[in-house]
Structure 1
Amino acid sequence: MWKKSSGLNTFRRHCRGGACKQIFYSTLILIPIYPLLASPPPSPDGRSLLLSPCLSETPEARVLERAVLESRVREMEEENRQIRLQLSQLQGTAGQPADGGNYGNAVWGASADTGPEDVENTAEERANHTECPRSPTVLKCELIHVACVCAGHNASRDVVTLVKSILFHRKNPLHFHFITDAVANQILSSLFQSWMVPSVQVSFYDADELKSEVSWIPNKHYSGIYGLMKLTLTKALPSDLTKVIVLDTDITFATDIAELWAIFRKFTDKQVIGLVENQSDWYLGNLWKNHKPWPALGRGFNTGVILLYLERLRRIGWEQMWRLTAERELMSMLSTSLADQDIFNAFIKQNPVLVHQLPCFWNVQLSDHTRSEQCYTEVSDLKVIHWNSPKKLRVKNKHVEFFRNLYLTFLEYDGNLLRRELFGCPSHATSESVQLQGALEELDEDDQCYDFRRERITVHRVHLYFLQYEYTPTGDDTDVTLVAQLSMDRLQMLEAICKHWEGPISLALYMSDAEAQQFLRYAQASEVLKNRKNVGYHIVYKEGQFYPVNLVRNVALRNANTPYVFLADVDFLPMYGLYDYLRKSVVQLDMANTKKALVVPAFETLRYRLSFPKSKAELLSMLDIGTLYTFRYHVWTKGHAPTNYAKWRTATTPYKVEWEADFEPYVVVKRDCPEYDQRFVGFGWNKVSHIMELDAQEYDLMVLPNAFMIHMPHAPSFDISKFRSSPGYRYCLQTLKEEFHQDLSRKYGAAALKYLTAQRNI
């Protein structure tokens, strides 16, 4: 049957600009509609195209066919009526372009004095419709440049969602330009280096060097001085960069960014900036009594998405022009309310010929006071969603659930899936990716332990400082960071650890993208975690089939910021006051000038509810009555037996113990100690190998007489279950042990032979 979604509707879907409407209207006038009722268009074999050949021969079918055509005629007549109305409005604004509002053409060249109501009645209707399909395209491997200002922990986390949405749709190489503070630089440089996305380049620019350019501008916007940084891009970005797409961090793409990049080709010779009209009434000045916004052309423009023609901006003296505009307006306005957006709009008010208005779907603005609904109910597709509100996902918009789901899709999307090649384009491979490829090619896929060996060289994405982090160094160089790793099933331990340890903590969390968001919600809802700023949370994203426990430990260790580290596990609770006791022991044992590893004796309880001992005397009493036990005494005695618990009961001063095979205590050492060996994954020998290397480097193992930690019960991990049930797993672990011993012997010579001998005597 001839449906409404046929060629007519397809034309309307792809062609909704003002010029297209004129073409469409003219075409309709020429179509001989009514003869269709008497003689439907024939097919090549003479049958009706409206129904199948079989059905069209019945009287009932011919009646149905006539009814369908009559209904269709009525619909087309109504559409004709609507189009005539719209055409008459367009003819009233002759000379205006149909591509979304091109302010550089004749009518807009004199529009500096146009009133808000005039702009509303003319620009909106043209700006909110999909353009004709003759839009320019981007070359297959053309490099697209994207710039973002990103400062602090939260913005660094937000920008990842933006990047994911861009990578998901992209078909072109990308170059991201980040203007960052020191925090965002550390986070994003580590993230992109470990993400290893093909055909993606990243450059960083120091925001501190640009602050003097805008620090003189009083600004009331919540983004602070960083909200003004986009004004400095002609200076900040490389001088040979001709054009760039500039984005806020709270943007989500629903299409290929190349479509936006292609719009540069539609700029007239004079246009230098591409912007979407502001969808709130802010610049109309009617939001509340005595509201006085900065000057703007009609509704003004939103700067969440900007096309900057850098080459032309430099040519016209952009830096001097925006400065003069800001200085002039600040004489009466005193400060900016919307940061760079106020200055951009004041500049455009005076120079409307320089702006290219983008259709609204390139920046659908979702805050509480926008008219974004008028945009997205009148277009066939949305391309960019902008959460331009401090409340982000909590904005009051009746369609917010749809937009929230789109955002959450990329928020929790597995970033590993975005490591796809752009076939047919130069890869721009980094040295790291070349080395990784070489290491992979050297592996023997027929090796029974191939999966273990592959895990050792797998590069995991790492997002450092996932939450706000603040640390002020102590002045005496004795500070100690508790270092641990965990996965989602140990999350419940965090609050208890924070209550037991008041010092800095470095935690590496092995999680998927979706689990990282669950953790974020958990941390933001916890009063204990919310109030602790000296805890560094580092996300190591899941990849592969094994838990890379030592790799995750190393991420936590590398990002400790104190001279000393307490290498612990997250399922242990330190005794109350251990932080202060360890700092005193560091001084007492002269750790600054000696190689020592301070052993904190480990105990355990089989009870989920425990009245935690407040002193050594109370702990000894609980040991005697069977409420506590020395750690793993009944399943893995060798792991902690060298601690010599019998001596510890009566010791009042630190005492030295000797290394023994399979010893794996929890220790305090200098931060520059050897890292954990990353060949050991999952369960088995991950801590044993580390203590062995400390001993090989001649660290003295000193047991602290008044320190203790208690292991809390939990369900066994998936990895220990694999170890117990899989002979192949146990075989590979034994193979890795032997290879570790060989490497240790090569590294430390004859002194390391004792480890191989001890292993063979077990």
Structure 2
Amino acid sequence: IMHLPFRGRLKLLVASLTAIILLTWLYLLAGNLENGRSLLLSPCLSETPEARVLERVVLESRVREMEEENRQIRLQLNQLQGTVGQPADGGNYGNAAWGASADTGPEDVENTAEERANHTECPRSPTILKCELIHVACVCAGHNASRDVVTLVKSILFHRRNPLHFHFITDAVANQILSSLFQSWMVPSVQVSFYDADELKSEVSWIPNKHYSGIYGLMKLTLTKALPSDLTKVIVLDTDITFATDIAELWAIFRKFTDKQVIGLVENQSDWYLGNLWKNHKPWPALGRGFNTGVILLYLERLRRIGWEQMWRLTAERELMSMLSTSLADQDIFNAFIKQNPVLVHQLPCFWNVQLSDHTRSEQCYTEVSDLKVIHWNSPKKLRVKNKHVEFFRNLYLTFLEYDGNLLRRELFGCPSQATSESVRLQGALEELDEDDQCYDFRRERITVHRVHLYFLQYEYTPAGDDTDVTLVAQLSMDRLQMLEAICKHWEGPISLALYMSDAEAQQFLRYAQASEVLKNRKNVGYHIVYKEGQFYPVNLVRNVALRNANTPYVFLADVDFLPMYGLYDYLRHFLSILQLGCNVTKCYVKKSRVLNTFQKHCMQSSSKLLLTHLYTSLSPCRPRYHVWTKGHAPTNYAKWRTATTPYKVEWEADFEPYVVVKRDCPEYDQRFVGFGWNKVSHIMELDAQEYDLMVLPNAFMIHMPHAPSFDISKFRSSPGYRYCLQTLKEEFHQDLSRKYGAAALKYLTAQRNI
């Protein structure tokens, strides 16, 4: 450089500075490209030929960099997919997730490339309209599934902000249980529809199935036929599902479906479909790990359009030629169908169906438990599965299992509520009440609708060959639970029990019954849960629930703290058969009630009338509540009963409350009487008003089991207001009785005034 002339050295220096500036500018340009355009390049400068050449060079360099970065990212994601089994982008499902598989045509690859080109780094989650109706379908059959589905419903209702329509495919048992439950639950903005599973059995009964769910495990295949033809899409759930988020988020995923996708599923998290669980394990064909059908998004409209019913049938027929039967019910057929038609599936992220069965890889599909959306308890062991987060899962499940369902009756803010005739009637009844009335709480309790879960446990009853069968009817609360085993030992016939409990207490009762050798072996006991609400024990409402659900011609109306004598069931049936054989056409229409004598536990060691009468002579306290309430059973005439060998008639007297055997269609208990006082008395009074004869049986008795005073009797004794309201209700009952039965009912009012 020193040998160059000054002018040459100057030019070289200028050129060097220019080169340094250009290199610096290129460096800045390469670091600030956004979608191939420089943020530093002005619109005017970009129009020059030199700038365009320079920009092209920079773009090519940047593209090569991005391609290398993408290659490295794809490599890492492929490694993750091999261990986790999830699509690389966590949201680009179906044929996009599986790439250009052997079953994917060129057109599908083109669509996939277009979807990726349109994919942004910050995709917005699809949303649904504020009051959009969400449809949910479940197949539910039997007593146990009907109990399990309630926990699923609670978890959905807890998080939901949209109206819901539940579609239940049920057998007769589940229909009776769930229809009664939802009718009494009265949750705003919730519709329920039922579909008879018996009408659908012929659609799938030809498929051999080894799964424990039996024929009901195949019912989800028939949903396009079972559900209304105008229903376009539905979320299908197993009964052992628990939601940890708003179901609207899952419903919104329908908007992510491509035009061809019809089914949304989560990949199976066990190795079942890989065929490596044991030697010679041969599962049905599946795409990769296959899919789990515990949570399904079904686009019904599109499924009908492509001929779903014919397609799944052809798939099942083809595979059954070699497989002979299904092992996982509908899941096998769904997977075989998807294997042949992968373009139709929209793969959901695994957190929409975290499967907690044995041999699953569920722990690898999420990093934090807060990421979870749906937990699937698809294991017979349920809460005893092996998982590092099982304690969290257990607590979440128990939260909804014991959650007070009354709290889920809240209105949806901003959404119009579709009022039922029952809710309108209740609202009108509430408006008629005077809040300044001293007995307002008593009157409000009479019109309160309590949730009722019929047949909480397995129930099996085979009707007797004649018309003399009789059911013991009683009610109880948690503090009388220990008396159940003794009653079941003394009474071998059918029993209808209504239990007044909270949601948490109902689960305690379930554990108690399942652990009791006596109770778990008795299938002819119907347990009906009436859920707690309000400040009073609605004793007559609870009695009526037990009475309405007795399934025999006769009912024995008792209390759970009275123990029947041994052999009473057979004795009553024998007596009823004699009565029927001995009646003529006229006498058969005479209403009769059979009165049973009652004694205290002092006499419990006696198993015969002879010994009991001896104890009665020497121990007057054998009579129930002898020192406290002599009127309750005095008209039975114990002195006469001691020597009686045939039934004898007694007359009604004030405050008479015997335990009786009557026809099942007898009057129900008056529900205005809650807590303590006059609940049985009013019922016997109405039986007498309807001209029932009170006949005392000579060789039948019960033993009273002593117990601590109830909370309601303590309130009666300590509260003048309580006693005043009970007296007011008595007077109103007398007035209603007079209006209903005329002058014949005046004797009850006269008798009451003479006390």
TM-score, reference length from structure 2: 0.83
Deviations 1:630-671 (A, max 9, x none): 9x2211111110000000000000000000000000000000
**1:551 & 1:66 partners in 2: Cα distance?**
84
Deviations 1:568-607 (A, max 9, x none): 0000100000001111x663686x88999999999xxxx9
Distance apart, 1:429 and its partner CA:
1.1
Distance apart, 1:113 and its partner CA:
6.2
Q: Are residues 205 and 105 of structure 1, via their aligned partners in 2, closer, same or farther at CA, if it must alter by over 3 Å?
A: same
Q: Secondary structure at the match of 1:566?
A: strand
Deviations 1:146-178 (A, max 9, x none): 000000000000000000000000000000000
Report which stretch shifted further, 101-110 or 426-435. Answer: 101-110
Q: Secondary structure at the match of 1:295?
A: coil
- Which of 661, 683, 688 is 1:668 aligned to? 661
Report which stretch shifted further, 524-533 or 131-140. Answer: 131-140
**1:384 & 1:112 partners in 2: Cα distance?**
32
Deviations 1:1-26 (A, max 9, x none): xxxxxxxxxxxxxxxxxxxxxxxxxx
**1:61 & 1:449 partners in 2: Cα distance?**
91
Within-5 A mapping of 1:29-40: none
Deviations 1:116-143 (A, max 9, x none): 9999999999999999560110100000
Q: Secondary structure at the match of 1:296?
A: coil
Q: Are residues 98 and 692 of structure 1, via their aligned partners in 2, closer, same or farther at CA, if it must alter by over 3 Å?
A: same
Q: Secondary structure at the match of 1:492?
A: helix
Q: Are residues 298 and 202 of structure 1, via their aligned partners in 2, closer, same or farther at CA, if it must alter by over 3 Å?
A: same
Deviations 1:226-263 (A, max 9, x none): 00000000000000000000000000000000000000
Deviations 1:425-448 (A, max 9, x none): 110111111101110110000000
Gaps of 5+ in 1: 1-35, 40-44
**1:250 & 1:173 partners in 2: Cα distance?**
22
Q: Are residues 37 and 251 of structure 1, via their aligned partners in 2, closer, same or farther at CA, if it must alter by over 3 Å?
A: farther
**1:93 & 1:106 partners in 2: Cα distance?**
19
**1:237 & 1:422 partners in 2: Cα distance?**
26
Distance apart, 1:50 and its partner CA:
30
Q: Is the 8 A contact 2:595 2:694 kept in 1?
A: no
**2:571 & 2:733 partners in 1: Cα distance?**
35
Q: Are residues 620 and 191 of structure 1, via their aligned partners in 2, closer, same or farther at CA, if it must alter by over 3 Å?
A: closer
Q: Are residues 628 and 422 of structure 1, via their aligned partners in 2, closer, same or farther at CA, if it must alter by over 3 Å?
A: farther
Corresponding residue for residue 335 of structure 2:
345
Report which stretch shifted further, 368-377 or 723-732. Answer: 368-377
Q: Are residues 564 and 60 of structure 1, via their aligned partners in 2, closer, same or farther at CA, if it must alter by over 3 Å?
A: farther
- Which of 399, 418, 425 is 2:389 aligned to? 399
Q: Secondary structure at the match of 2:38?
A: coil
**1:356 & 1:761 partners in 2: Cα distance?**
79
Q: Is the 8 A contact 1:149 1:179 kept in 2?
A: yes
Corresponding residue for residue 364 of structure 2:
374
1:155 aligns with 2:145: yes
**1:594 & 1:55 partners in 2: Cα distance?**
114
Q: Are residues 92 and 701 of structure 1, via their aligned partners in 2, closer, same or farther at CA, if it must alter by over 3 Å?
A: closer
**2:647 & 2:47 partners in 1: Cα distance?**
103
Q: Is the 8 A contact 2:210 2:325 kept in 1?
A: yes
Distance apart, 1:608 and its partner CA:
26
Distance apart, 1:76 and its partner CA:
20
Aligned-pair Cα RMSD in Å: 8.9
Q: Are residues 74 and 127 of structure 1, via their aligned partners in 2, closer, same or farther at CA, if it must alter by over 3 Å?
A: closer
**1:737 & 1:37 partners in 2: Cα distance?**
114
Q: Are residues 676 and 289 of structure 1, via their aligned partners in 2, closer, same or farther at CA, if it must alter by over 3 Å?
A: same
**1:293 & 1:696 partners in 2: Cα distance?**
70
Q: Is the 8 A contact 1:596 1:669 kept in 2?
A: no
Distance apart, 1:369 and its partner CA:
1.1
Q: Are residues 410 and 726 of structure 1, via their aligned partners in 2, closer, same or farther at CA, if it must alter by over 3 Å?
A: same
Within-5 A mapping of 1:221-370: 221-370=211-360
**1:524 & 1:56 partners in 2: Cα distance?**
81
Q: Is the 8 A contact 1:115 1:298 kept in 2?
A: no
Aligned length: 715
Identical-pair percentage: 95
**2:258 & 2:358 partners in 1: Cα distance?**
35
**2:75 & 2:425 partners in 1: Cα distance?**
65
Q: Is the 8 A contact 1:271 1:353 kept in 2?
A: yes
Deviations 1:280-315 (A, max 9, x none): 000000000000000000000000000000000000
Q: Secondary structure at the match of 1:91?
A: helix
Q: Which has the larger radius of gyration?
A: 2
TM-score, reference length from structure 1: 0.82
Report which stretch shifted further, 62-71 or 104-113. Answer: 62-71
Q: Is the 8 A contact 1:275 1:307 kept in 2?
A: yes
Distance apart, 1:522 and its partner CA:
0.1
Distance apart, 1:111 and its partner CA:
2.3
Q: Is the 8 A contact 1:596 1:699 kept in 2?
A: no
1:713 aligns with 2:706: yes
Q: Are residues 683 and 586 of structure 1, via their aligned partners in 2, closer, same or farther at CA, if it must alter by over 3 Å?
A: farther
Q: Secondary structure at the match of 1:473?
A: coil
Q: Is the 8 A contact 1:165 1:252 kept in 2?
A: yes
Q: Are residues 237 and 117 of structure 1, via their aligned partners in 2, closer, same or farther at CA, if it must alter by over 3 Å?
A: closer
**2:362 & 2:635 partners in 1: Cα distance?**
69
**1:58 & 1:91 partners in 2: Cα distance?**
47
Q: Secondary structure at the match of 1:166?
A: helix
**2:536 & 2:746 partners in 1: Cα distance?**
30
Distance apart, 1:73 and its partner CA:
27
Q: Is the 8 A contact 1:99 1:126 kept in 2?
A: no
**1:201 & 1:420 partners in 2: Cα distance?**
15
Q: Are residues 73 and 168 of structure 1, via their aligned partners in 2, closer, same or farther at CA, if it must alter by over 3 Å?
A: farther
Distance apart, 1:69 and its partner CA:
33
Q: Are residues 518 and 153 of structure 1, via their aligned partners in 2, closer, same or farther at CA, if it must alter by over 3 Å?
A: same
**2:305 & 2:51 partners in 1: Cα distance?**
69
Report which stretch shifted further, 610-619 or 427-436. Answer: 610-619
Q: Are residues 705 and 668 of structure 1, via their aligned partners in 2, closer, same or farther at CA, if it must alter by over 3 Å?
A: same
Gaps of 5+ in 2: 1-12, 17-34, 618-624
Q: Secondary structure at the match of 1:707?
A: strand
Report which stretch shifted further, 375-384 or 317-326. Answer: 375-384
Q: Is the 8 A contact 2:315 2:333 kept in 1?
A: yes
Report which stretch shifted further, 70-79 or 475-484. Answer: 70-79
Within-5 A mapping of 1:49-64: none
Q: Is the 8 A contact 1:523 1:530 kept in 2?
A: yes
Q: Are residues 402 and 750 of structure 1, via their aligned partners in 2, closer, same or farther at CA, if it must alter by over 3 Å?
A: same
Q: Is the 8 A contact 2:93 2:348 kept in 1?
A: no
Report which stretch shifted further, 76-85 or 240-249. Answer: 76-85
- Which of 577, 591, 594 is 1:600 aligned to? 591
Report which stretch shifted further, 445-454 or 390-399. Answer: 390-399
Distance apart, 1:375 and its partner CA:
1.1
Q: Is the 8 A contact 1:130 1:379 kept in 2?
A: no
Q: Is the 8 A contact 1:175 1:200 kept in 2?
A: yes
Q: Is the 8 A contact 1:127 1:357 kept in 2?
A: no
Distance apart, 1:100 and its partner CA:
2.9
Q: Is the 8 A contact 1:170 1:258 kept in 2?
A: yes
Corresponding residue for residue 589 of structure 1:
581
Q: Is the 8 A contact 1:109 1:353 kept in 2?
A: no
**1:68 & 1:516 partners in 2: Cα distance?**
72
Q: Are residues 61 and 398 of structure 1, via their aligned partners in 2, closer, same or farther at CA, if it must alter by over 3 Å?
A: farther
Q: Are residues 128 and 394 of structure 1, via their aligned partners in 2, closer, same or farther at CA, if it must alter by over 3 Å?
A: farther
Within-5 A mapping of 1:43-192: 86=76, 99-100=89-90, 102-105=92-95, 108=98, 110-112=100-102, 134-192=124-182
Q: Is the 8 A contact 1:601 1:709 kept in 2?
A: no
Corresponding residue for residue 657 of structure 1:
650
Report which stretch shifted further, 415-424 or 53-62. Answer: 53-62
**1:484 & 1:526 partners in 2: Cα distance?**
20
Q: Are residues 655 and 492 of structure 1, via their aligned partners in 2, closer, same or farther at CA, if it must alter by over 3 Å?
A: same
Q: Is the 8 A contact 2:460 2:523 kept in 1?
A: yes
Q: Are residues 285 and 93 of structure 1, via their aligned partners in 2, closer, same or farther at CA, if it must alter by over 3 Å?
A: closer
Q: Are residues 385 and 729 of structure 1, via their aligned partners in 2, closer, same or farther at CA, if it must alter by over 3 Å?
A: same
Q: Are residues 164 and 599 of structure 1, via their aligned partners in 2, closer, same or farther at CA, if it must alter by over 3 Å?
A: farther
Q: Are residues 650 and 289 of structure 1, via their aligned partners in 2, closer, same or farther at CA, if it must alter by over 3 Å?
A: same
